[in-house]
Amino acid sequence: MERRISRNKFSKNRFGSNRRTIGRFKGGGRNSRSSENRFSKGRVNKAGNQRYGKQQTWKKPKRKFKKKKGIEFKSKWVVAINRNLDVMPGKKDNILYLGASTGTTIRYISNLTEGLIFAVENSPDMALNLVRLAGRKKNIAPVFCDARDIESLKKAMFNTKINILFQDIPSLDQAEILIKASSLVDKDSKIFFSLKTQSISQQEPGKTLKEVEEKLKKHFKILHVENLEPYHKKHYFLILGKM
């Protein structure tokens, strides 16, 4: 926008004073929120003033953090698939997914398999979106219960054989939940575990990884550990096999 300012300081306005009163007439007071007053910073409006060289115009302020686009910033399993790890599901694999939330990862993975996917979620607001998604897709079975409650999980599954177990729950007893849930799975099946170190403790992520690994060594054999940076900071992806 351009605006003309009378350069003659001594030209009087209609009130008879010598002050410049551009902002007052058009955009209300100096401190008002009107769109025209966004250009002015101080007492004098410098928007159209070409005395200072470049013309100042209002721009939309930049965001502090860039908006991250793409499924890789949301899903940990997809990052592992893109890095050519041995995590690709087969065409007829049944999957038990603990901590599904709204189902961003499940939407991606349901296209890769024809088998059943049991999506377990505990909070009602997240599970509403999950059930809505299950209406559209043909191979998703939403299970609304706590992941620690194994008996209700057993009833929901109707003795179907599970090939892949995936766990992604931000809680302090994340490792214990996996050990409990591994009773539902046979020896042949794969187990994937995405570790969130900050939900366990605020110390360095390397230390918490070692502590969790010692817990898991008693029940599983650890095949691979992957650091998920730069997509997910302080997150690890573990590939496990049952003893």
Partner 1 sequence: MNNKQIIEWNISRSKEKIKSQILKDRIIIFFTRIVEDAGKYQNPNFYGRVKELYRLIYPYSELEDPKEIFIKIKKTFGLQGFSGCSEIRTLVRISDTRNSDLKSKDGLVLDNEEIEAVKLFIKNLDSECKLKNKMVIKKEIEAILGKLVVKYLPNSSKIIEPYLLGKLISSVGGISKLYRKPASTIQLIGAEKALFRHMAKGKDCPKYGLIYYSRRILKAENKGKEARKIANQLALNVRIDYFRNFNSQKTSEIPDF
The interface with partner 1 within residues 132-151 (CB under 8 A) comprises: 132, 134-135, 138-145
Q: Counting contacts by CB under 8 A, is residue 230 touching partner 1?
A: no
CB of 108 to partner 1, least distance (A): 19
For residues 15 and 216, give the distance between their C-alpha atoms in angstroms, rounded to a whole number.
82
Residues in region 110-129 near partner 1 by CB under 8 A? 116, 118, 124, 127-128
Task: Indicate which single residue of 5, 85, 156, 179 sits in contact with partner 1 (rule: CB under 8 A).
Answer: 156
Give 45 or 110: the residue with its C-beta nearer to partner 1: 110
- Bridge partners of 90? none
Q: Which is closer to partner 1, CB of 4 or CB of 64?
A: 64
Q: Is 85 in the site for partner 1 (CB under 8 A)?
A: no
Q: Which of 32, 160, 198, 203 binds partner 1 (CB under 8 A)?
A: 160
Contact indicator for 216, 191 with CB cutoff of 8 Å: no
Residue 184 interacts with partner 1 (CB under 8 A): yes or no = no
* 38 interacts with partner 1 by CB under 8 A: no
Closest CB 191 distance from partner 1, rounded Å: 22
The nearer residue to partner 1, 163 or 194, going by C-beta atoms, is 163
Binding site for partner 1 (CB under 8 A): 116, 118, 124, 127-128, 131-132, 134-135, 138-145, 155-158, 160
